[in-house]
Amino acid sequence: MIVNARRGLHFILKDSFKPLSILFIWDMLVVICYKYFHIGWFDQSALPTAMIGSVLVLFMNFRNNTAYNRWWEARSHWGLITNNCRSFSRQCTTILKGHPDLTRAIAGYAYVLSYHLRGKDALLNSNVKRVLPIHIQEYIKGLRNQPNGVLFQIGLMVSQEVEKKHIDGAIHAQIDRILSDIANAQGALERIKNTPLSIQFSTLPYYLTEITCVILPFSMVQTLEWFTPLGSALVGFLFMALYKIGSDLQNPFDDSPHALPMLTMTRSLEIDLLEQIGDPTGAPITPVNGIQW
């Protein structure tokens, strides 16, 4: 996630440089043909372009709102994961009278889930190997849904501890309810991951933006003449920026500067949990070049 405004502008300009360069060259060709070859049909009314541009802005505004809602929903459900993991660790300490492996397991679960959402094998990551108990690592090898396997093992560990210490069933149900809430939040995150934005919203804006940028100079050349490339490039940049914003937000789990800072949030949760049981923790993750990973 980009946390530095200048860095964010840098990414927008970097991503827009190539298409803007092509648009500038196209605009120059239109001006040259109009000025030196007197191709009359190059001079078109601004009304059709303005109408197309207005519709495109409304369309992309709806699409960007949808993409941002996906991003924010993912952030909200991850917040539920964080809060419930903290509550689970606290209850393991206070109600189950201490079980450090359960706290380590729920901290490891957050790492496993973050890599699962990015389509990676969590067991290849050093953070998972460091935090997650060995027997759970062995169990989830080869599983399609590794975080679900971790939750299953945690549930078994809780049941064994309840039986061992003869804890009341109602209290066991209270702890198990927290695991159910975590599983529900995981399901919501997986739904966002596995249900991409509708193809109409991910493809149509791209082609409409391209078409609009191509016809822009025809509505400006008579008025702006040699300044047409500047005016067309500025308007084209605004359309491209709107399109890029939606593209960046629609996939909140991608391994990109625009996605949720999964590693940072997971490390913060690990520190919160392991400090309670006296385990050594790593340092919080700070932004790198204005980006929070």
Contacts of 281-289 spanning 24+ positions with Cβ under 8 A: 287/3, 287/4, 289/4, 289/7
User: What is the pLDDT at residue 41?
Assistant: 63
pTM of the model: 0.86
User: What is the pLDDT at residue 98?
Assistant: 77
Residue percentage of the chain with pLDDT more than 90 = 41
pLDDT digits (tens, 9 = 90+) for 222-236: 888 888 888 888 888
User: What is the pLDDT at residue 272?
Assistant: 93
